[in-house]
Structure 1
């Protein structure tokens, strides 16, 4: 008999002890052939705006940049996720998968690492932007595709489907997860790793700060634009609704900054701060606030700088919740 269970960590914001000796250091810082036709000039003719570069294929459906600075930041987020999961790329109990896809692969770093670990697997990474490297393991291929469009994988389904950090980029998670269900083999697994973008604090130290205002403005703008801002807490229900079984979820606390006393949390916080300070504040806010809320570039830069400055203060203790959930398509 299959079962649906949920496993969560015991951590809560109130349980994260502040390191009172902390001094912030700002230095912390195939069917593929059918898709190749997508690699046309419209894909590579990027949109340039406010000093940043954005995808052109399905222009405007993703509101974060795809330039080199953003690629570097995404790779830092990859390292942060590895730190959270104790150097694991995934938690699902997969065994010798033959066919795998990484949704919205970004720089392709997860797909490349997975292909190195699982050389028997054919690994596909798909994204709106062809910004992945060309020197990759022989079992990796990248394609340009919009994962929110209808898929065509049901006739050749996957053993494992992986997605990470899709927050503020997907309008209909329920539909996407149902597409995953249809495109994974009976007995296969799907895993999503995603965030709750609302920061919390163990001591209410975020109240009235520029850091809190940044996330309030960001969430309001993305929600008005029709995007899911904080998918993490909702993933379990979407998996249940899609028909998955053997669902397991874990929730991880990730600080912002190296203020926790616990050494592991301190390291996570330092990595989180480093990726945000690598133009992360600007990357998240520029397009959505200027395109949808009529902010000027200068206003966005000021908002980002205020968030960055408050994030560096020793007496501000922000935490985010990061969720990892996996589920299995029933064998029958």
Structure 2
């Protein structure tokens, strides 16, 4: 097969914006209604043409850029995590000292539950949730809207737009947090706030009880695969420096503990730990591992399920006292 000549090759940059060719395949009448419906239906179907793999469903838009499922099992797990975070923060959706927000962005909104709760609390604010998957409900407060987009791609015309930009639980889904936070700096209004809530993904134990367990092996294997694919697995402790590098002032850091299970004596931590274990056992172990290990480490589905079952079994042992560090970091764009 011969290569096309230079005159035949075209790229988007080759098109003269003053001369846009008409698509005559559409019927020529006085209304764009039918054509618009047909075209947007095609676009919508491409976004909803989900990828099915190893018994789970994944997003199709920007296929492969996010390695966790978007099926009902995963959506239930995300809503459980939302409750866990509310318990952790004593029913607060955010900690930044915002006042009278008019426009708010929720990055990686998932099921949209944070955006919906925020909209209910602030009925005068417009809340925009952005995610790769259109999995959010249709019956939402009138001041909420959801958009399908990749938050790591270029943002168009979003400078100085928001009083608050919020992001939660982006671990193992973002490759360049520093770049993303700099974009947030450009998009938030002077005097506005950006808040990220995220994990140090690796589990810990003060008494060494995590050593030689399937729980530790699970995280070592799975996070190694994510790191091989270029994803950040420990964003929490790095957020403060990323915020300062981006130019934020009044940067505040809260480091919190999320236990796994009900082993803590403290009633509050016990409740948080119960939610942490419940969400992980609601498909979390398998869902977080399947794509990363089968696509990047050539594991079989059966091997991943066995690894997950070993982690689940050791996590249930009363002698294993595992916890994670979770960070809430917010900063303000300078007024000037």
Give the TM-score, by structure 1 length: 0.88
1:159 aligned residue: 163
Residue 147 (structure 1) aligned to one of 134, 144, 151: 151
CA contact (8 A) 2:160 2:186 kept: no
Q: Which residue of 2 aligns with 1:240?
A: 244
Cα contact 1:104–1:126 (8 A) shared by 2: yes
2:46 counterpart residue number: 42
Larger RCO, structure (CA 8 Å, separation 6 or more): 1
Q: 1:184 to 1:39 in 2, by over 3 A?
A: farther
Q: Is 1:76 aligned with 2:80?
A: yes
CA offset at residue 153 of structure 1? Answer: 3.8
Between the aligned partners of 2:263 and 2:141, the Cα distance in structure 1 is: 39
- Decide which of 252, 268, 276 is 2:272's aligned counterpart: 268
Runs of 4+ in 1 over 3 A off after TM superposition: 36-39, 153-156
* CA RMSD across the alignment: 1.1
Return the alpha-carbon distance in structure 2 between the equivalents of residues 156 and 329 of structure 1.
10
Listed as ranges, the matches of 1:184-263 within 5 Å are 184-263=188-267
CA contact (8 A) 2:258 2:276 kept: yes
**Correspondence list, 1:80-159, <5 A:** 80-155=84-159, 157-159=161-163
SS in 2 for 1:111: helix
1:153 and 1:250 map into 2 onto residues whose CA distance is: 32
**Shift in Å at residue 154 of structure 1?**
3.2
Could you say which structure has the larger radius of gyration? 2
Query: Is contact 1:53–1:67 with CA below 8 Å preserved after alignment?
Result: yes
Q: Distance in 1 between matches of 2:143 and 2:160?
A: 17
Q: Is the 8 A contact 2:159 2:186 kept in 1?
A: no
1:72 is paired with a residue whose SS is helix
- Structure 1 stretches of 5 or more lacking a match? 1-35
Structure 2 length-normalised TM: 0.87
Secondary structure, aligned partner of 1:40: helix
The answer on whether the counterparts of 2:207 and 2:321 sit within 8 Å (CA) in structure 1 is: yes
SS of aligned partner of 1:279:
helix
Who is 1:283 aligned against? 287
Query: Is the CA contact (8 Å cut-off) linking 2:191 and 2:335 kept in structure 1?
Result: yes
Indicate whether 1:302 and 2:306 are aligned: yes
**Unaligned 5+ runs, structure 2:** 1-39
Counterpart in the other structure of 1:61: 65
**Which whole-Å deviations, capped at 9, do the CAs of 1:271-311 have from their partners, x for residues lacking one?**
00000000100010000000000000000000000000000
